[in-house]
Structure 1
Amino acid sequence: MDQDFERELLEIFKAEAEDYLTILNDGLLALEEGADERAVEEMFRTTHSLKGAARAVNFSAVEELCQAIESLFSKIKNKELKLNEGIRAVLNRSIEHLNELLNQNNFNASCDIDILKQLQAAASGEIKAAAKEKAQKRPAARPKAAQKPEASRPEAAGQTPEKTTAPEPAPATQPKSADAAQETIRISYQKIRELFTQSEDLIAIKIKQKFYIDHINQLYDQLEAIGKKRRQWLVASDSADALNSELFREFSLIKKQVDLLKNTLENDLFQITAMIDKHLDDIKQLMMFPFSTITNYLERSTRAIAREMNKKIELKIYGKEVELDKHTLELLKDPLIHLIRNSLDHGIEPPEERLMRGKPEVGKITIEVLPPRDQSIVVKVSDDGRGLDLAKIKQKSLKKNLVTQAELDDMNESQVLSLIFHSGLSTKDEVSKLSGRGLGMAVVLENIEKLGGSLKVENYYPNGSTFYLTIPLSFATSRGILIYTNDFRAIIPTKFVRLPMRLEVAQLKTVENQLVVNLNGQNIPLFSLASLLDIKTEDRETPQYLNILILRLDEQHEIAVSVDQVLDEREIILKKLNPPLEEVRFLSGVTILGDGSLVPVLNVHDIFAACSDRFKPMAIKKQKPKQILVVEDSITSRVLLKNVLESAGFEVQTAINGQQAWQILQKQTFDLIISDVQMPEMDGVELTRKIKAEQKMKSIPVILLTSLGSESDRKKGLEAGANAYFIKQDFKQKSLLDLIHKLIGTE
């Protein structure tokens, strides 16, 4: 574990420990009022979770103390001991000592032997109620405000802590700092994300209001036309009777009322739009983090890979201040690391070779994050290595039967470069643990497409290459063009539409049996959108004019699609589809129109892939990483496990208890499940039983990862159906990963 991640893990542990101490302190107050079974159960589970979190950061004194407290609570919980005043006093002193250890922030501290002995005596039933006169009946102090960790690493600290007593209260005259006066709370990103998703539904109010206004405007225009005809009739008529005059006055009054209603609705829409947009912008800002959030991870990963390859490298990162949604940042980590690894392995030459080529001994990789533009962000990843060898790419593509020689001869440079994104294609002749399997670049493209983005390559062989990652700002509100074709309405995202046009059929050309649109001297292949989407079409006469949209993925990939009508452009809320609909071809999601109807939003990547063999490089067979569900109630242990597994190339989802995991399993499938045993609501053993009893889930391997190491506990877990029982005390990354590879067949 490197130092940067260790520091990050320690910060997570401190926040988690503070929460656990709050629960324990509140539990002590509850125990003062009587032997509350629920309080005992909650304190038992909390102590167990804190023990696991302390083990994850090597805080042995806290782990040892929690183990002793947990043992005592276990006896009370199982009715082997009756809670009395003496035991309450021991628990008071023990949890007060736990507070002191955590406040000292000294990972080399030792646990108070006297307190451990008292806990052991209490668990053995040696402390009777008579001990209460010696007890100090007071709840433990809350932990101090978050303190910065010592400069040195915990295991290097070396000093022996002095025994401390309860801290003396600060003088009453001591002024509060501005920071202390500012109250803060911790809230998970997921909760903010859920709030934002719910708040986005407010946009539907805007869309409906606009829909009503459009209809009122149509009604007003109709009334205006009727009034004009009425006036013309009155002028042409020699006489106007009283009845007609009265009808005309009533008609004018109705028209004024409609006009007033129209103006009121337009004013309301203006105010609603301002309030909703500000509300959404405020929530968006809470989810935005600077790119610097992940730069430490990128820098340390680059150093580690370079050391392993015996290469000298300088990583430069520009645009660290540019802010992105946290979800986007997390999904960017993997493709960026793949690109860096690819640059180091395939591009950056060994020092001696660089010197021979007249290059600096130290290679350079540059990541530049450009400011947002047109609702998207571009990340450039460049290196000054060899670049991409087109001849070698062609050779390997033919060998893998990805293309024929005739197809290769017909490809331009950008299309040949696109071949590197095929799963299984690698220009390496040998397979190493870092590369050679041809999965890296396919994974990069897959992750970028998950974000709704695109990827472009510029090659400067033999002097390097640049990858352009274009990523939309990852909020679901965007704009789309509503089209109608063969009784089918759909939305095409505006960002992919270069140009709408109306073209006479006689102006179309045919090149190699393919209809094309000639735009500024460039022939763009034309397809019927209805045919691409496999929508049944009735025989009908060819119209004189075609409504056409020019779609663009990037500068090298453009197509034209014909539709019956291009209705309008509008603001949309993209709602992603849930499994199993998320895999339906051509669909990115759905949106709701002002009249309440659902309309599909088309996946432009799938449209390009379906067009013709000319775009075969875009029709990539993707090999998804294996999916693992981690079920662990300790956030520290959860983050540690997630980091270990993601670093090994797995896709990881987490749950905080068995009940939440079971709910997740109803919606999606996983290749493997790793679960703690002791958790609230539903423990790991019960979760395993439910999984193995379910026909569609029973084949999923389950690993129970727990601190319960007795033979009876192991037997209980295996009898529930677990495929393996892994003791946390014996936790080694390699052993766990070897076991995972064995269970899911990825060795």
Structure 2
Amino acid sequence: MALDLSKFIGRFSGEARDHLTRLTTGLAALEAQPDDAEAINALFRSAHTIKGSARMLKLTGISTTAHHLEDLLGALRAGHYRANPTGISLLLTGVDAIAAQLDQLESVGGDPPADPALCDTLARAAAAGLAAPATADLIGSGQSPVDATPDQPSPVTPPAAAAPAQHALDSVRVPLAKLDELIRLIGEVTSVQVQLRQRVLEAQHLGRAARKPAVGDGRAPGGLADPAAAQRFAHDLRDDVQAQELLVAGLRERALVLRMLPLAMVFDPAARMVRELARAQGKEVRCEVQGGEIELDRQLIEGLGSALIHVLRNAVDHGIEDPATRRAAGKPAVGQVRISARQTGGGVVLEVSDDGRGLNRERIIAKALHKGLLDPARVATLTDDQVWELSFAPGLSTSEIITDLSGRGVGLDAVKHTVNDVLQGAVSLVSRTGEGSTFAFTLPLSLAVMRVLVFACGGQRFALAAQHVVELLRVMAHEAITLAGRPAVVLRNEFVPLIPLAGLLGLPPTPAARDRASGTVRRGDGMRLVVVIGVRQAKLGLIIDQLLDERAMVIKTLPEHMRGCPLVGGIVVTGDNALVSVLQAPSLMETARRTRGETAVQGTAGAGARPGRDEPWHILVVDDSFNTREIVKDVLEACGYRVTTAEDGLDGWQKALGGRFDAVLTDVEMPGLDGFSLTAKLRTHDRYQATPIVIITSREQEEDKRRGIQVGADAYIVKGDFDQSSLLETLHNLLG
């Protein structure tokens, strides 16, 4: 269910104008009483509320202006900024700018942009701690107090057109919409090409039949009187199709190259993000990038970003230790994160590694047991790989607190879904306690057209992306061995488990399979056709019935109602217009491990379920912004939660004492009793010592998150990163 945020715009605008009125009135009063601490706190809260509500509605421009206004008011509150007439004038200019943005929002809609010059002036004033006398005059010109040098004219920059643009001579700018349409048409041509090849096979069949005279009139079946002509037709058509195949292949390759982008487009911003995250947490991290020149299809580049960010955030937040801890462990104070890529055959292997503390095996097992993901009887026999596999289970996290960086238990689960299901690749994890962790993504070069192996199994046709097919085998019955009670084959000194694909997919057995089960032996029954698939170092032999085709084909996305099936990643259209499911090799291997009892992950309860109770979870939402309370209330009630709201910290405390709540969601900046104080107060009450408490705020500084941990919060969600899925997943993880 997608939440329609547009219906909250009018309510937000009205609430924001109320706060702007308070700001205007309060700033005018502050000029007469510049040391009124309570008045300054009220002004700060108004700017903070506007920023937080705008962030929740994804109004980035208003949020940015309010953020800089809040920073300057924060400097005023801390005594670093003087409330003189010039400073008040600058603050009022910021208030007027937000009012103008609200006018634009109400009349035009969209996301009214912030004024970069004003934001820069506000930021510089907050940093300098004292506004320059000419500040008010500089706002309109786009200059800041620091930039103003009236005695020295600014150098004139020549127009860009006057500079030589040699790169424009050997490049062309293509609109993405046209390029996507070209790729779509090529996909259709490729599909028609498959149909033409089918026609060739039919014509050859007719030609062979034409050589056998029909009884009675000497004519060939189907009315063909000249078998030689039919044969020539088949040969000519075959040659034409082969020539067209070459042309289409060349066109496809050249068109796909236009969509290829270097990995540096995601690597370089990711490296900067690592350094900024580390700096915000008081850590020192060096990020090394290799292989950024390797190119992938644009669709892969776009999809890769979120998965890469999840892994890198985990590396900085969970993996890399602070300098003091690293020195105590005999490590360099500066941590190391490495992002690398290399080409392997028809794909790319991308690795993200760090030299941090590594994964904590015992903590993962304990959390998995608590979440019901692991059978306690299996703990003693778990291998490291099986424990690391648990890290990808939905809802599992070992973080002390859920934040925007990590801890929600959805990060690695989301990474696995993105890489395996969306990008048609595979992800694996290796960790060494005290030494670090390495994530490896195996990706194809393109998703537009991929080589696909089509085969028959259990009376149906299926396909596999060729990148996951290691090789094809014909295994005689006497060549198979029994390993731990299960069939396997030795492939170059490596044991490869064998499993009938039909049984793995739950298909009814074919007549041949039923004969083997009953002991009936038929000619050729001793041979098995095996497709060996591989994901990273693991291999699995799938017993199938018949190979049908192998070629480059267009993999179409699944219809909406089928996208919840983890075993199927897409469909292809064959020459006879049949729809064939493309199986996901990583999911097949995971299902096979589960069937053999080798996976550590157990099934989980459905989202939002309350074990053993019929009534819904009861949630207390505390926020001084009516708009924010209503947004959160609508999200929760739409998913079956029962919600009570409180308009500030004191109201929340009174309602908490007067009722019983399964979880508390609270803002930080509130009059009377702020969210940190409310959380600490709740933790002193017997009824709420173990109740999940989630802080939802605009304050995104690392020290604020650490204070959230200190007062006992279980989760810390920044309003700028707010979306209903993260809130619901956080609540599900805490209440589950």
TM > 0.5 between the two? yes
SS in 2 for 1:492: strand
The residue that corresponds to 2:70 in the other structure is none
Q: Using the alignment, how far apart are the partners of 1:521 and 1:181 within structure 2?
A: 56
Kindly provide the amino acid, as one letter, of the partner of residue 560 in structure 1: G
The 5 Å alignment of 1:340-359 reads: 340-359=312-331
Per the TM alignment, residue 617 of structure 1 is displaced from its structure 2 partner at its CA by: 4.6
The residue that corresponds to 1:381 in the other structure is 352
The residue that corresponds to 1:599 in the other structure is 580
Q: Using the alignment, how far apart are the partners of 1:302 and 1:518 within structure 2?
A: 44
Find 1:212's aligned residue among 195, 199, 205.
Answer: 199
Q: Do residues 571 (structure 1) and 552 (structure 2) align?
A: yes
Cα separation, partners in 2 of 1:319 and 1:73, compared to 1, 3 Å: closer
Per the TM alignment, residue 303 of structure 1 is displaced from its structure 2 partner at its CA by: 2.2
Moved more, 202-211 or 176-185: 176-185
The 5 Å alignment of 1:606-645 reads: 606-611=587-592, 612-617=595-600
The residue that corresponds to 1:584 in the other structure is 565
The residue that corresponds to 2:657 in the other structure is none
The residue that corresponds to 1:199 in the other structure is 186
Kindly provide the amino acid, as one letter, of the partner of residue 474 in structure 2: R
Per the TM alignment, residue 206 of structure 1 is displaced from its structure 2 partner at its CA by: 2.0
Per the TM alignment, residue 282 of structure 1 is displaced from its structure 2 partner at its CA by: 3.6
Per the TM alignment, residue 315 of structure 1 is displaced from its structure 2 partner at its CA by: 0.6
Q: Using the alignment, how far apart are the partners of 1:395 and 1:740 within structure 2?
A: 28
The 5 Å alignment of 1:242-641 reads: 254=226, 256-371=228-343, 373-404=344-375, 406-428=377-399, 434-449=405-420, 450-537=422-509, 540-542=514-516, 544-584=525-565, 586-611=567-592, 612-617=595-600
Cα separation, partners in 2 of 1:333 and 1:578, compared to 1, 3 Å: same
SS in 1 for 2:397: coil
Cα separation, partners in 2 of 1:175 and 1:202, compared to 1, 3 Å: same
Q: Using the alignment, how far apart are the partners of 2:566 and 2:311 within structure 1?
A: 28
Kindly provide the amino acid, as one letter, of the partner of residue 300 in structure 1: R
- Preserved contact between residue 336 and residue 354 of structure 2 (Cα < 8 Å): yes
TM-score, structure 2 normalization: 0.57
Per the TM alignment, residue 355 of structure 1 is displaced from its structure 2 partner at its CA by: 2.3
Cα separation, partners in 2 of 1:509 and 1:71, compared to 1, 3 Å: closer
- Preserved contact between residue 428 and residue 439 of structure 2 (Cα < 8 Å): yes
1:48-80 CA-partner distances (Å, limit 9, x unpaired):
xxxx99868869999999999999999xxxxxx
Q: Using the alignment, how far apart are the partners of 1:73 and 1:506 within structure 2?
A: 76
Per the TM alignment, residue 312 of structure 1 is displaced from its structure 2 partner at its CA by: 0.6
- Preserved contact between residue 421 and residue 620 of structure 1 (Cα < 8 Å): no
Per the TM alignment, residue 326 of structure 1 is displaced from its structure 2 partner at its CA by: 2.5
Q: Using the alignment, how far apart are the partners of 1:199 and 1:374 within structure 2?
A: 24
Per the TM alignment, residue 347 of structure 1 is displaced from its structure 2 partner at its CA by: 2.4
- Preserved contact between residue 509 and residue 517 of structure 1 (Cα < 8 Å): yes
Kindly provide the amino acid, as one letter, of the partner of residue 384 in structure 2: E
SS in 2 for 1:202: helix
1:105-156 CA-partner distances (Å, limit 9, x unpaired):
977999xxxxxxxxxxxxxxxxxxxxxxxxxxxxxxxxxxxxxxxxx99867
- Preserved contact between residue 108 and residue 154 of structure 1 (Cα < 8 Å): no
SS in 2 for 1:559: strand
Q: Using the alignment, how far apart are the partners of 1:744 and 1:426 within structure 2?
A: 16
SS in 1 for 2:249: helix
Kindly provide the amino acid, as one letter, of the partner of residue 541 in structure 1: D
Cα separation, partners in 2 of 1:403 and 1:346, compared to 1, 3 Å: same
Q: Using the alignment, how far apart are the partners of 2:276 and 2:501 within structure 1?
A: 48
SS in 1 for 2:316: helix
Per the TM alignment, residue 541 of structure 1 is displaced from its structure 2 partner at its CA by: 1.2
- Preserved contact between residue 546 and residue 564 of structure 1 (Cα < 8 Å): no
Cα separation, partners in 2 of 1:261 and 1:424, compared to 1, 3 Å: same
Q: Using the alignment, how far apart are the partners of 2:471 and 2:379 within structure 1?
A: 30
Q: Using the alignment, how far apart are the partners of 1:193 and 1:622 within structure 2?
A: 40
Kindly provide the amino acid, as one letter, of the partner of residue 582 in structure 2: V
SS in 2 for 1:614: coil
TM-score, structure 1 normalization: 0.56
SS in 1 for 2:489: strand
Cα separation, partners in 2 of 1:445 and 1:73, compared to 1, 3 Å: closer
Moved more, 350-359 or 735-744: 735-744
Per the TM alignment, residue 301 of structure 1 is displaced from its structure 2 partner at its CA by: 2.0
Per the TM alignment, residue 574 of structure 1 is displaced from its structure 2 partner at its CA by: 1.3
Cα separation, partners in 2 of 1:473 and 1:620, compared to 1, 3 Å: farther
Per the TM alignment, residue 396 of structure 1 is displaced from its structure 2 partner at its CA by: 4.2
Moved more, 492-501 or 357-366: 492-501
Q: Alpha carbon RMSD of aligned pairs, Å?
A: 5.0
Per the TM alignment, residue 343 of structure 1 is displaced from its structure 2 partner at its CA by: 1.9
Per the TM alignment, residue 328 of structure 1 is displaced from its structure 2 partner at its CA by: 1.7
Consecutive unaligned residues in structure 2, runs of 5 or more: 1-58, 66-92, 122-140, 151-158, 609-628, 642-696, 700-717, 732-736
Kindly provide the amino acid, as one letter, of the partner of residue 565 in structure 2: V
Kindly provide the amino acid, as one letter, of the partner of residue 385 in structure 1: G
Q: Using the alignment, how far apart are the partners of 1:182 and 1:516 within structure 2?
A: 56
Kindly provide the amino acid, as one letter, of the partner of residue 293 in structure 1: M
SS in 1 for 2:515: coil
Identity rate of aligned residues, in percent? Answer: 23
Kindly provide the amino acid, as one letter, of the partner of residue 327 in structure 2: L
SS in 2 for 1:307: helix
- Preserved contact between residue 422 and residue 620 of structure 1 (Cα < 8 Å): no
Kindly provide the amino acid, as one letter, of the partner of residue 599 in structure 2: K
Cα separation, partners in 2 of 1:577 and 1:486, compared to 1, 3 Å: same
SS in 2 for 1:541: helix
Q: Using the alignment, how far apart are the partners of 1:297 and 1:413 within structure 2?
A: 32
**Count of residues paired in the alignment:** 501
Consecutive unaligned residues in structure 1, runs of 5 or more: 1-51, 75-101, 111-151, 162-169, 228-243, 626-671, 675-690, 701-730
Per the TM alignment, residue 556 of structure 1 is displaced from its structure 2 partner at its CA by: 4.4
